[in-house]
Amino acid sequence: MHTTTSPLATGLRDHGFVGRLAEPGDADYDEARAGWNGAIDRLPAAVAFANDADDVAAAIRAARGAGLAFTVRGGGHSVSGRSVRDGALCIDLRALNGVEVDPRSAVVRVGGGALLSELDAATQEHGLAVPGGQISHTGVGGLTLGGGIGWLMRHHGLTIDSLLAAEVVLADGEIVRASADEHADLFWALRGGGGEFGVVTRFEFRAHRVGPIVLGGMLVYPWEEARAVFQATRELMTGAPDALTAFAVLVTAPPQPPFPAEHHGRPVAVVAVAWTGDPDEGERVLAPLRAGCPPLVDLVAPMPYVALQSMLDETAPHGRRYYDKLHYLSEVSDAFIDALLAGFAEVPTPHTHVMTSWMGGAIDRVAPGDTAFGHRGARAFTWLIGCSGDDPVEPAADWVRRVFDATAPFASAGVYVNALDEGRSVRDAYTDEVWARLVAVKRRYDPDAVFDAHGIRP
């Protein structure tokens, strides 16, 4: 336990908090407040590292007792920095990163502060996986509560579609279990409603048989072929088996292998694929893309699932300055592709990139109202990720805004709550019916709106 006697430290101790505390002036304060996005530089009142659910409850009670706002941090990946706020107590869950796998029932219990890499490593020991995202240093907590879109989404659904139950610390510090049978309204809201209803200290997932070897990797194309590559990927994904997920990525080729030297520093198109079915069938399914659009570099091959899950990690390292926006798409139309390519032709920084991914498959097999996730039925999404390295983020952010606006006429309404930037309202993340239910659940479980991740008001 922290040894200082600041009023906050004393209040936490009085409420039974036993975890580590980093306060302004402490040697570890700067490291403790830093998140993934280097563009966010906020000064919380303190960072309280909870050891367990009781610690989380104590931190909530202490903050409320002191009239202090608080935030909750899982993996720290919120691009807009929601998990740290100036002057608020940051309740950090990083120490809650245990993963228990029951291979017989395929049930996985994972702490609310675990990273996807930790979840993947533990489940893959048994040939199992829980659908996650595309970058393995993302937190299970925030990703799950917003929905969870990633490599397995078309085969096994969103992350929330595999959620069986959650241990939740509520606004008054009470610890409850939410599932289909217990606090079913809360369980519904947790699956897509963001971190607005309580702190999840443990998730319980049903895992699926995946790998350990899957067919995946990247096909790299010259910029001149980008339009044809988007069209060919669209063709491939129209009616594709659910076992196939594909991302068409626009990126500036870094000066290193496997990118050919003559393309270094130039924009290229990359198709990143994952096939989680029978490998031979996967080769057959991918053959038309490879034959119709022969790549410069073909890196698609059998690989461990954990390698697939971390394949893109280096594209998004901690500490650089980022800004993002996301569109859902009802189709990846030629007009959309043209607008996106025209935008990328003016990309201002080498690390800025754009990912377009096809949805559908298992995502659509869950009825829209069954969970709070707002946008089942979208056919694809495009994620614009501006990055300025260590420089001020504004040129990259300005580019993201301009390309977002230029492509907006070809996109569908709505936003993913996990890609909510400062310019958009949480209301846009949900349909009218889902919104009304979320507000009702908020009224019941958090009437004072102390969980203020996105701004749902009771």
Ligand X SMILES: Cc1cc2nc3c(=O)[nH]c(=O)nc-3n(C[C@H](O)[C@H](O)[C@H](O)COP(=O)(O)OP(=O)(O)OC[C@H]3O[C@@H](n4cnc5c(N)ncnc54)[C@H](O)[C@@H]3O)c2cc1C
Out of 11, 131, 142, 360, name the contact with ligand X by CB under 6 A. 142
At residue 203, the 3 state secondary structure works out as strand
- The only residue of 97, 117, 124, 134 in contact with ligand X, by rule CB under 6 A: 134
Q: Does 124 bind ligand X (CB under 6 A)?
A: no
Which 101-120 residues touch ligand X, going by CB under 6 A?
A: 112
| Binding of residue 73 to ligand X (CB under 6 A) | yes
Residue 115 DSSP code: B
Give the three-state DSSP class for 170: coil
Task: Kindly state the smallest distance separating residue 109's Cβ from ligand X, in Å.
Answer: 13
Closer by beta carbon to ligand X, 30 or else 334: 30
From 43-51, 193-201, 278-286, 287-295, span contacting ligand X (CB under 6 A): 193-201
Q: How far is the CB of 4 from ligand X (least distance, A)?
A: 25
Among the listed residues 93, 122, 189, 397, the single contact to ligand X using CB under 6 A: 93
User: Among residues 217, 215, 208, which one has the least CA distance to residue 155?
Assistant: 208
Distances (CA, A) of 207 to 104, 203, 367, 428: 11, 12, 20, 31
- The correct pick among 15, 62, 71, 122 for binding ligand X (CB under 6 A) is 71
- Where are any strands of DSSP class E within 238-350? 244-252, 267-275, 297-298, 301-304, 322-329
Residue 385 CB, shortest distance to ligand X, in Å, is: 8
The answer to whether the CB of 142 falls within 8 A of the CB of 78 is yes
77: contact with ligand X by CB under 6 A: yes
Q: How many residues bind ligand X (CB under 6 A)?
A: 34
Q: Is 388 in the site for ligand X (CB under 6 A)?
A: no
- Binding track, positions 308-347, relative to ligand X; x by CB under 6 A: --------x-------------------------------
Helices (H), strands (E): how many in the chain? 13, 19
Q: Compute the least distance from the CB of residue 342 to ligand X, in Å.
A: 25
Write the CB contacts of 49 (distance below 8 Å, at least 6 apart in sequence): 19, 20, 21, 22, 32, 92, 94, 95
Three-class secondary structure of residue 428 per DSSP: helix
Which CB sits closer to ligand X, 71 or 349? 71
Look at the chain and count its residues. Answer: 458
Smallest separation (angstroms) from ligand X to the CB of 418 = 4
135 binds ligand X (CB under 6 A): yes
CA distance 84 to 104: 39
Name which of residues 11 to 70 contact ligand X (CB under 6 A): 35-36
CB 410 → ligand X: shortest distance, Å? 22
Where does residue 319 fall: left (phi above 0), alpha (psi -120 to 50 degrees), or beta otherwise?
left
- Decide if residue 157 touches ligand X (CB under 6 A): no
**How far, in whole angstroms, is CA 175 from its chain's centroid?**
25
Q: Can you read off the two tokens belonging to residue 322?
A: 């980022």
Decide whether 249 or 316 has the Cβ nearer to ligand X. 316
Q: Is 82 in the site for ligand X (CB under 6 A)?
A: yes
State yes or no: cis peptide before 24, omega within 30 of 0: no
Binding site for ligand X (CB under 6 A): 35-36, 71-79, 82-83, 93, 112, 133-135, 138-139, 141-143, 145-146, 148-150, 195, 199-200, 316, 418, 453
